[in-house]
Chains A and B, each alone.
Chain A
Amino acid sequence: MCLAVPAKVLEIENAIGKVEISGVSREVSMMLLPEAKVGDFVLVHAGFAMQIVDEKDAEETNALLAEMKGAPRTVDTIEESVAHE
């Protein structure tokens, strides 16, 4: 129901932020996310920054797979096993 994309905050002035997504930039309103700072990654929906993105998602799948196995596998070992299969 709601498309939103992560973008990097390049500058902020008067609650208007300039953000960049894959090299594409756009002005967005920072009204809903006053705590965001230059350099943060934020989630953008309909021209507004909605939330600060605070971790890399890629690791979550590995973490879950490790949990499934019930063994304390590290992210590295899974990525390695995938890369070599």
Chain B
Amino acid sequence: MVSDKVTLAHGAGGKLSQELMEEVILPAYGNPLLNELHDGAQVQMGGQVAFTTDSYVVQPLFFAGGNIGKLAVCGTVNDLSMTGAVPRYLSAGLIIEEGFPIKDLKEIVATMRKMADEAGIYIVTGDTKVVEKGKADGIFINTAGIGDVIRGTHIAPQNVKPGMKIILSGYIGDHAAAILAGRHGLTLPDTVKTDCAPLCHMTKAMLEAAPDIAVLRDPTRGGVAAVLNEIAAASNCGILIDEDAIPIHEEVQGVCDILGFDPLYLANEGKCVAFVPADEAQGVLAVMQANKYGRDARIIGEVTEQAKGQVGLRTAIGGIRVVDMPLGNIVPRIC
């Protein structure tokens, strides 16, 4: 490349656009479907199709254990996975701020490819735009994805019934802690990094083991608290979880103690909450624990007839409190 920074000309459709495509994007994403370079990709699907999209605007762009590209692939893969589908194809739209280092762009798209490979999907179509300095924050990414819905599954909050067990796939808050720590002058040990990961292989195994899993959700923004409240409201059931059962790394709890956060509200990017019929809970748990992203999975509570629409938490000393829906952004507090 002539330049080491992305310029407006790279987005203007001429020679430089072609160069960016041929030297940065295609070498990273390259696959037979994309390499056709049509205006769109033509793909074969099995039957019922799941379709989702999400945009990624995280700051900082690079953080412990990942970057915005990792989020952009895993986030959309996980959204498809939570609907009970096997993700197949992704689109990738990049909106880049003029002056963005080519080196960083290469690293981001290389990460996207690596994650796509792990998830077993292809990035088959995309778009790149360059905007003037100040009109974007480095880079924004949108991905959309389609997947084949696994036959025999029917994921819907309305299927959640009293007595069902709630399984959480592992330690909470790692992603938010990795992002937030740097913003407030905290240094985390190398062991704490984003949990961002593609969960499609694990959810596929879970659904094959127990097709009547009622709900799968990834507790991203708003954390576990938001997911549980949404399901309690949508199913018109109560939810009771056990504070002691929720896995939190000591360092993440440390970040929470310092900045005044509640870990239940922290975002995760590689976790899943499953609502499972009681008699299948142990089987699903075993399948999850056999996957590297579900090794620390555990049952954290159950669905109840009482307290419809509410989420309760049994505290360490034996009291019960309400876990409310999170409100807006979490900011550090001294009170």
Contact = CB atoms under 8 A, between A and B. Distances in A.
Given A3-B260, A5-B258, A23 B250 contact: yes
A36 interface: no
A2 interface: yes
B258 A21 contact: yes
A46 B260 CA distance: 11
Interface in A12-34: 21-27
Interface in B185-207: 185-189, 191-192
B237 to A, nearest CB: 34
B181 interface: yes
Interface residues of A, number: 14
Contacts of A22: 250-251, 253-254, 257
Nearest to B181: A24
B180 to A, nearest CB: 11
A23 B254 contact: yes
B251 A24 contact: yes
A44 interface: yes
Nearest to B260: A3
Interface of B: 181, 185-189, 191-192, 250-251, 253-255, 257-258, 260, 333-335
Contacts of A3: 257, 260, 333-335
A45 interface: yes
Among A21, A24, A26, A44, max chain B CB count under 10 A is at A24
5 contacts: A3-B260, A3-B334, A5-B258, A22-B250, A22-B251
Contacts of B191: 23
B100 to A, nearest CB: 31
A16 to B, nearest CB: 12
Contacts of B192: 23
Nearest to A18: B187
Among A5, A22, A46, max chain B CB count under 10 A is at A22
A1 interface: yes
Contacts of A5: 254, 257-258
Interface of A: 1-3, 5, 21-27, 44-46
Contacts of B251: 22-24
Contacts of B188: 23-24
Nearest to A24: B254
Contacts of A23: 188-189, 191-192, 250-251, 254
A5 B334 CA distance: 11
A3 B251 CA distance: 17
A4 to B, nearest CB: 9
B334 A45 contact: yes
Contacts of B187: 24-26
